Structure 1
Amino acid sequence: AWLNQDAAQPPASEVLFGKTWNLHIPTGRVFPATPALFTTSALNFDYNADAPAPERWLRFLAQLWDDDPESIALLQEWFGYCLTPDTSQQKMLLLVGPRRGGKGTIARVLAHLIGAANVAGPTTSSLAGPFGLQPLLGKSLAIVSDARFGGDAIQTVVERLLCISGEDALTVDRKFLGSVTLKLPIRFTFLANELPRLTESSGALTGRFLILRLTKSFYGQEDVGLTEKLAAELPGILRWALEGWMRLRQRGRFVQPASVEDAVRDLEDLCSPVGAFVRDRCIVGPGCSAEASAVFAAWKGYCQEMGRDHTGTIQTFGRDLRATVPGLRVTQPRLTGGRTRWYEGLRLADGAGGSCHAPY
């Protein structure tokens, strides 16, 4: 941030801080570092407008996604996004693929680009700890290698990721220091061998993930010096990343590659089985209604078909159903035989136990 802002100075959010020079990204104007512009993170090198194209890096990406330019474009935009203090997209990157598939190399190059002093390396389990957020203070990027979303504390991890990626303020407890309440301007990059299984019925967290899927493994064929070779191209990779940032800025949002549409759906189903049930077995819309007991019976049958052992109670199912279907209402009309619970705004696709007309 500028300590003494005036109209002639570019917005700090559009400035890339180098070792001795700063770059105003939209205009390409370079100006010397100044004590009047405060930042907690900067690159370890300066921007070079004449840097050659990163040929080895581009060949590496083409090897990973030889028929998927959309995935390369998304990675390019993510690299550029991580260079700035902007977190307004409220997204996290999830790299999924087999071992020795390129995930670690991509993460190491990104860390080199951002600067080691600006990168945190938490684990999913450490994020749930009482002081798990303290290492994120002052960092602009968190790289979670070998991300494993499981264990008793997973709900705490989900809550914290929702707060951080959603730009919400939260209280950070610090060991031997007082706690602080602030927004953490940090972007998360997760590396995983498989899609995570999260318990989050509303789908809010799954909607925060951008997914890049790697399908090749180079196990037994590793180039152990590849990271160093790619790091030699950092000035060119920086120019490449800035092109991605400009494209993202013009479009205004990230776009998931078409190649991961099924992965996005799988992630949603893993995180919210009730959401998958609604998509496969229900019709949602105004005027639709269904008896709660009939919907729960259909849910139990669906779980049996899918090999899911735990169906929960009708109460927990109703809670998850309301989180999945915005605007769903529960009523208890007086019908023949007494009062029964009905859902308004949803019916079973086969018409059992409901209709698209009010039952009363």
Structure 2
Amino acid sequence: MSANHLAPAPTLWERVTAGELEAPDGWDTYPAPGCHTEVSNRLLTELFSTGGHPTLQYWRKAWWHYVGTHWEEVDEDEVRKPIWQRLNEVTYVKQTPDGEQHKQWLPSRAKVTDLLEPTRLSVLTPASVEAPTWVGGGKQPAPALIAMRNGLFDHRRRELHPHTPQWFNTWALPFEYDPEAVATRWEQFLGEVFEHDKAGALLLQEWAGYLISGRLDLQKMLLIIGVPGGGKSVIASTLEALMGGSANVANPSMADFGGRFTLDQLRGKPLAIFGDASDTGEHNKVVVERLKNITGEGAVSVDIKGRPMWTGKLPTRFTIISNQVPKFLDASSAVQRRAMAVYLTRSFQGAPDKDLPRKLERELPGIFNWALEGLDRLNRNNGRFTTPDTQQEVLEDLEELGSPLRAFFKETYTLTGNDEDSIDDSDVYDDYTRWCTRNGFGRSQLSKTKFRVEVNAMALEGVKRGQVKATGSRVIRGIRLQQGARAPEFLPKTAA
């Protein structure tokens, strides 16, 4: 059994089979094969219920089974198997000219398939419902509960509640809540790697709290950039362990993130860690759109091999690890606006603690308490994350790499947002051409037509294309040339 699972209370069938309960009258006599709804109801009561609550759900074109701490998606064959086994044990009553006769039920593929339809409808959770949610009533608000090994933890009240299949959640943490647990070695490690940027440690703590909470509403992602041996991989592996390991955490490649079936691995996963984001691959635009949509809580369509397409909101938050700032081509800079970042400057390659991952794994309950402190601070600050000292430089690099056009405008002009401040767009394009050559963007320079389209797409406040009515000339409004931004030989000639 996975560390993320607890055996749920046994079903009625399991208890009778184990001899814990005496079989009720008529236990092995079922409705006839043609009575699909009646047979389905019997099966749900005997095979897929515990404590009077269903342990089977059908949600967004997939079957989900309760595993004691949370719900997991299961293949349809795992639903068919116990149905087949139970029906192979039972008989039904058939009326004949000679009176009632007990006939073997004799399951077949067709018979079981006929039963799946009423079963599916009986346990259907509407596709519009977002997990986590209550499916059978409950008092605790959904956002406050974190499923852990020893119960459902209300992080606002610091209370544990018993596990129940009424709480439809797709992931759980594999360790117990212990209010006395500490994380001495973890905090020592953070003191070392964030010695240059104490605010960076606070951001990481708040991010960890945001992850364990399951929240999506702040629409943020975290970039951890830094030198080799600077602690990035330790932070990544600790966040992964905190969130339940591979059962709950996806590790996609940024180079492959634009692929057709890549999003399938994110379904039901609260965290995705990109281990090396320096190469965004040939699908850069698709990667950017997916990062924006998922971080922005938008619905996405997910291709699943051999199955119908799945559409819904993914519960995934992104942590991006890289030695260098990744290049996300995004004229609007939406990815950059949703990014938070920290830069690690100190390398520990010369003196690594090879036993550190094992030490930190033993501290997971304490690291959880450390993350709770970060979550509390985040809530006190109304959802505003602490800004690290090293963040601004990283985000500036991210913007310049992702939208050289925005960087060009910010470096070359004063952005006034005033329509009366304007420059002929041909002069602006000439400035842009020289800027690209000077800054190494010559190969990615936009054509003049594309340039004109992207000026509005980059969404710089108050900066937009326009036209002078009197002359018909095209201009870009809301900008003034900065002092010294253009070499003297390129300045407009003045009359003698």
Which structure has the bigger radius of gyration? Answer: 2
Where does residue 478 of structure 2 map in the other structure? Answer: 345
Choose 308-317 or 234-243, whichever is displaced more: 308-317
Q: Name the count of aligned residue pairs.
A: 348
Task: Provide Cα deviations, 1:213-270, integer angstroms capped at 9, x if missing partner.
Answer: 1111122422222101111111111101001001111112223212222222122112
What SS is found at the alignment partner of 1:128?
coil
Tell whether 2:390 aligns with 1:259.
Answer: yes
Q: Does the CA contact (< 8 Å) of 1:80 and 1:241 recur in 2?
A: yes
Where does residue 465 of structure 2 map in the other structure? Answer: 330
Structure 1 residue 112 displacement after superposition = 1.1
Structure 1 residue 206 displacement after superposition = 1.0
Equivalent residue in structure 2 for 1:69, among 186, 190, 198:
198
Q: 2: distance between equivalents of 1:150 and 1:18?
A: 35
AA aligned to 2:345 is T
Q: Does the CA contact (< 8 Å) of 2:278 and 2:325 recur in 1?
A: no
After the TM superposition, which residues 1-360 of structure 1 pair with which residues of structure 2 at under 5 Å, given as runs? 1-6=133-138, 9-51=139-181, 53-116=182-245, 117-251=247-381, 252-284=383-415, 285-286=417-418, 287-310=420-443, 311-324=445-458, 325-335=460-470, 339-350=472-483
Q: 2: distance between equivalents of 1:178 and 1:148?
A: 33
Q: 1: distance between equivalents of 2:150 and 2:201?
A: 30
Structure 1 residue 305 displacement after superposition = 2.3
AA aligned to 1:319 is V
Q: Does the CA contact (< 8 Å) of 1:144 and 1:191 recur in 2?
A: yes
Structure 1 residue 332 displacement after superposition = 3.1
AA aligned to 2:228 is R
Where does residue 66 of structure 2 map in the other structure? Answer: none
RMSD: 1.7
Tell me the percent identity: 36
Q: Does the CA contact (< 8 Å) of 1:147 and 1:191 recur in 2?
A: yes
Q: Does the CA contact (< 8 Å) of 1:329 and 1:344 recur in 2?
A: yes
What SS is found at the alignment partner of 1:195?
coil
Q: 2: distance between equivalents of 1:49 and 1:95?
A: 29
Q: 2: distance between equivalents of 1:259 and 1:130?
A: 35
Change (3 A) 1:225 1:299: same
Structure 1 residue 43 displacement after superposition = 0.8
Q: 2: distance between equivalents of 1:176 and 1:29?
A: 43
Structure 1 residue 17 displacement after superposition = 0.8
Q: 2: distance between equivalents of 1:132 and 1:31?
A: 36
Choose 324-333 or 18-27, whichever is displaced more: 324-333
Q: Does the CA contact (< 8 Å) of 1:295 and 1:348 recur in 2?
A: no
Choose 170-179 or 148-157, whichever is displaced more: 148-157
Structure 2: tracts of 5 or more residues without a match = 1-132
AA aligned to 2:368 is L
AA aligned to 2:370 is W
AA aligned to 1:341 is R
Task: Provide Cα deviations, 1:9-33, integer angstroms capped at 9, x if missing partner.
Answer: 1211111111131111111111111
Choose 208-217 or 165-174, whichever is displaced more: 208-217
Q: Does the CA contact (< 8 Å) of 1:330 and 1:341 recur in 2?
A: yes
Q: 2: distance between equivalents of 1:18 and 1:145?
A: 26
Q: Does the CA contact (< 8 Å) of 1:95 and 1:213 recur in 2?
A: yes
Runs of 4+ in 1 over 4 A off after TM superposition: 350-353
Q: 2: distance between equivalents of 1:23 and 1:119?
A: 20
Change (3 A) 1:150 1:43: closer
Q: 2: distance between equivalents of 1:154 and 1:78?
A: 26
Task: Provide Cα deviations, 1:110-159, integer angstroms capped at 9, x if missing partner.
Answer: 11111021111111122111101001111111111112333321111111
What SS is found at the alignment partner of 1:258?
coil
Change (3 A) 1:322 1:68: same
Structure 1 residue 334 displacement after superposition = 4.8
> TM-score w.r.t. structure 2 length?
0.67
Choose 222-231 or 236-245, whichever is displaced more: 222-231
What SS is found at the alignment partner of 1:231?
helix
What SS is found at the alignment partner of 2:421?
strand
Q: Which has the higher contact order (CA 8 A, sep 6+)?
A: 1
Q: 2: distance between equivalents of 1:303 and 1:329?
A: 20
Where does residue 358 of structure 1 map in the other structure? Answer: none
AA aligned to 1:76 is Q
Task: Provide Cα deviations, 1:255-299, integer angstroms capped at 9, x if missing partner.
Answer: 321222222212211211111111111122212111110111111
Structure 1 residue 327 displacement after superposition = 4.5
Structure 1 residue 97 displacement after superposition = 1.2
Q: Does the CA contact (< 8 Å) of 2:455 and 2:464 recur in 1?
A: no
What SS is found at the alignment partner of 1:49?
coil
Q: 1: distance between equivalents of 2:309 and 2:255?
A: 20
> TM-score w.r.t. structure 1 length?
0.92
Q: 2: distance between equivalents of 1:333 and 1:18?
A: 64
Q: 2: distance between equivalents of 1:45 and 1:151?
A: 37
Q: 2: distance between equivalents of 1:258 and 1:18?
A: 34
Q: 2: distance between equivalents of 1:11 and 1:301?
A: 57
AA aligned to 1:246 is D
Structure 1: tracts of 5 or more residues without a match = 354-360
